[in-house]
Structure 1
Amino acid sequence: MGSMTALAPVRAVVGSRVSDTHGDEGKVSHLVQAESATRHALSKEWEIVGSFEDLDVSAQITPWERPDLGPWLTERQGDWDALVWAKVDRAFRSAKDCADVAHWAEENHKVLVFTDDGITLDYREGRESSFGNELAKTFLMLASIFAEMELKRIKARVTAAHKHLRKTDRWAGGQPPYGYRIVDRPGGGRTLEPDPVTSEAVRYMGKLLLEGQSQWMIATALEAAGFDTPSMHAYKNQGETYSSKRKTPPSNHWNPTSVGKILRSPATMGVKLTGRSVKARKVARDAKGLPIRMAKPLFTEEVWAAVQAAMDERSITKERSNGASPWLGVPHCDRCGDRFYRQVNLAKNGKIYEYYRCAKTAGKPACKGQSVKGERVTAAITALVERLAGLAMTVRRFIPGEDHTEQLNHVTQAMRDLREEKLRNLFDYPGGDDEYSEALEVLVDERRRLAALPQRPSAWIEVETGRTFADAWAQADQEHRRQLLLGLKARLYMTPTNEGWYLPTDLGARLQQLEGAANRAVGVWRL
């Protein structure tokens, strides 16, 4: 058998694998593994022709299916001679996978190296049946069996830990519910608290829903206000714990379904949920069977009940908007205040007659004689649109506040604790005074820095879009025109002989200013 120098230069591929890069160890583990593998290859004077780095990849995935390693075992298997890992458990957590790779290496005359475990299988030409390979293969199989057993122990520990955590107010991990953020928990672990921005978005959804706006309208308002969707918020604000698995930004367009799921979720009230998927999630309960509350609720109990009642009503009525009533929600009965409903009659001569009338609803009879022709509704809307034509369109935007009070309190308390330790002579050792002075100086500098930062409350502002109402109206289809009027909270109150518009005070004031009549009373006005 020839010597190493007599053989052609060995082409090596070095690599690493980490199941989870989110922890402190996971962030550097792949670097340590790669360094160990590279050091070994260079010590053997092998030529390093490539590398693989499978991050956030479980060892339970067969090596041939791993994103970075897989190609080296398939289409690129002819480009290398030796595959170098740091440890066996970085390569396998399954004895079967280990046996399959060892068998494949023997058939393809490859070298497998596990540097930290001191195991090398050398199946190059002429070395397949050596005693060293048989011994190394035995050690490799034993190591893979131990790795598989360790994986089962880890799973059992994690399962037990999660089972325990489900009964406490500690956060078990993952993406927090929209409206909350993960924070340190007094006494250890992590928990949730309302997020300054997304909690405002959730409250805004509830407010709009109780004002009668549909989930479609709420989704549109959220985008106009500049709120990120749950996936975009996580992508922007949770750093490597989220984005390491997703390299491209998600869509930032709100949809009615997302609005409904958030407003329906008990997590909005700070209640802990368990379950792997949104559909499977249920309320977590303590040993007494009571719901576990992890954080402050985003709504009062009264508002929460009203939101759920409004969602229930919408799920039952399921308002139609396309082809049913072009102005549904705009014209109302001037007697009872309820909305008018459209009725279309087809005469024998083929002519279509359109009416809007007061209809019977639960607990209320229809108002007799309250019926108006469709052309009157259209004429009244046309007249309002003409008066609103030059009105500048605006959107409400949320400006997050900046408050460092809590951080200042933490620093101040740390300074008190440090001084208390000094008074108790806990720095009474060589160099202790210098250590105390340095620690106090750091805290003083941090307090100064925080005190100099701006303090301002969160606020909503109206921002002009650069378009007029006429622009928006001209570019909208029938349904969007209806939504425009509903979004302005404009209501048309009608009787068979009379009609009048109600506009919110701020909109009425803007219209009066536009028409140059600032001293006229604001409220209901007649066309």
Structure 2
Amino acid sequence: MPKHSRSRTTTEQKAYDVEAEWTANDLALLEELKRAEALLPKDAPRALLSVRLSVLTEDTTSPVRQELDLRMLAREKGCRVVGVASDLNVSATKVPPWKRKQLGDWLNNRVPEFDVLMFWKLDRFVRRLSDLATMIDWCLKYEKNLISKNDSIDLTTTAGKIMVTIIGGIAEIEAANTSTRVASLWDYAKTQQEWLIGKPAYGYMTDVDENGKVTLVHDPTAYRALHWARRMAIRGVSARRMVMVLVRSGMCGPGLTVATLLRRLRNPALLGYRVEELKNGGQRRSKLILGTDGKPIKVAEPIFTEEEFNSLGAALDKRMKKQPARQPSGATKFLGVLICADCETNMYVRVTRNNFGVYPYLRCQECKSGGRGAPNPMAVYEQLVADVLSVLGDEPVQTREYAKGAEARREVERLEGSIAYYMKELEPGGRFAKTRFTKEQAEKTLDKLIAELEAIDPETTQDRWVNVHNGKTFRERWEEGGMEAMGADLLRVGVKCKITRTKVKGVRAPHIRMKLMIPKDVRERLIIKEDDFAKVF
């Protein structure tokens, strides 16, 4: 009989990363391996272990077994384990190594702390050839090595580089075959009247008929909500009012938004037809899928008749406001930096257009009606720019760069060897102790070598990050890049500006008070850290 693999539930998978999964024998072996590590010399290569698993089944290797196998491999190679990057429930096809939570932190921020990256098998590490090529280039740049427990991989040899590329190609082919099979199934399912796979549109749910086939039936609660919303739309009730009533009545969840409700009401799937999502300019819409006869494919009983659906669309179109075209950089400047002091949500620009003109104003997300809108966003931006420049404008622009200590280490080894040689030959019977002249000259040379050795900073012999000043200040950087560059930097370092709006009697526009909030470690956060993997995207 074929062997069936049982996948763990989501709860079981998440619970796997706990000490309870380690048996007494596993812990005993772990302690034994750590004792062996303690006997290694100080200059032993440092190993980082990468453990990954997407779904745990009876046929997969558990994270505990992966870690123990890799620790034994490190002992065989004479490496000291300095860390374990464990990323569970992560797909190697969808998430590359530098984007994973734990391994990504090591690759992006902790490069000087390890020399070798070990993994159990190549498909536990990457499944795309492009990702593998990126990691090989990264390892060559930072002089790191890749070692696999079950594959012949060693980047220090030409044969190893060729082997890792071949194995990576096989892994990508397997992943591509799986992706092709899934895509083919979806393409086939779209042309069928029977419901095979996928999530039904709002208003429907799956059921099993008397023949055991999966069918779509009306969801009673959603059916009532949709028909109620249609009646309200015909009467001219706003979508915002409908959302509030639907949420309060319990027919819809608290996460319902105006955009979501409108998208549901305009979905042609409510006519019982098969649809697919069409993304255009960031807007989610659904379009009909036509069958081989050129007609829509019916998959369920309709919720609305065509007459009801068309009249609903006409009512929604009647209330729809024409918003101005979106700006390439967004209508809101400093999004994520400007926050409301009352509800602590982001401030964003709302644009109102009527017969008298176009009126932009800042509003928040949680206060009633968006709080008291600030009618002049540009004045707020200019004040924020002035406040930021007065505090951070003179800070130097520094970039984090990787400094290798190999050259300094070689120089230290050369000086130590020369010092040892001169000290030995200055001893009685040595070649420099035969005459006073040779002894004095050798002692001068020895003093010079010792002075050169003492002048070398021990820190420079280690691989490390260094901050390099490019000669500019942030004031100059922001003058060149404008508000977009300043907004990106402020968001990156965590600078916030709280906006307090106070009602002024007899005046429609509120009084605006701004409070700049700067982290204590802002100078450290301002350092620009180049992304080695940005070019991949």
Provide TM-score, normalisation by structure 1: 0.44
* Bigger Rg over Cα: 1
